[in-house]
Amino acid sequence: MLLKKSNDVKRQAIAIDGFAGAYNRYLLIKEDGCPNYALRLSEIEPNGHTSYHAHEEEHEYYFLEGKGVVVDHNKVEYIVESGDAVYIPQKQNHQVKNIGKSILKFICTIPILKDGDGKSTKFV
């Protein structure tokens, strides 16, 4: 068993074109001994966002705090807040935006692809 405190995991800026004010805490990844799934705590600052993008792998989100918008593959915007869960199928465009006045926090799980590390994702 492995126990980690999320506040002890370094918050890392996502340095990818189109992302602004977005961070991940990589809670459980391959180097922790997780062979199949990664668990991240994602944080987006007020007015921050991800790019409109897609991945090889599916993503599951569970929103903990704040108020945001998830944009789907048809560019339809859905308001999300604490207690909401979102499934993003593989290769489907999406975006997350913080529209609130506090940090938007959500759990993000992804399958770890062959030769993946649980931190990086394969953009399509």
* Distance set, CA 78 to CA 46, 95, 99, 119 (Å): 17, 10, 11, 26
| CATH number assigned to the domain comprising residue 21 | 2.60.120.10
Total count of domains within the chain = 1
What is the mean predicted confidence (pLDDT) over 72-78? Answer: 98
What is the mean predicted confidence (pLDDT) over 58-65? Answer: 98
Residue 38 falls inside a structural domain: yes
**Percentage of residues in the chain with pLDDT exceeding 90?**
94
CA-based nearest residue to 23, from 31, 15, 32, 14: 14
Residue 122 falls inside a structural domain: no
Query: pTM for this structure?
Result: 0.95
**What's the angle, vertex CA 83, arms to CA 43 and CA 1, rounded to 5?**
70
Residue 39 falls inside a structural domain: yes
Residue 54 falls inside a structural domain: yes
> What is the per-residue pLDDT for 43?
98
Residue 121 falls inside a structural domain: no
CA atoms within 13 A on the CB side of 106: 28
**Percentage of residues in the chain with pLDDT exceeding 70?**
100
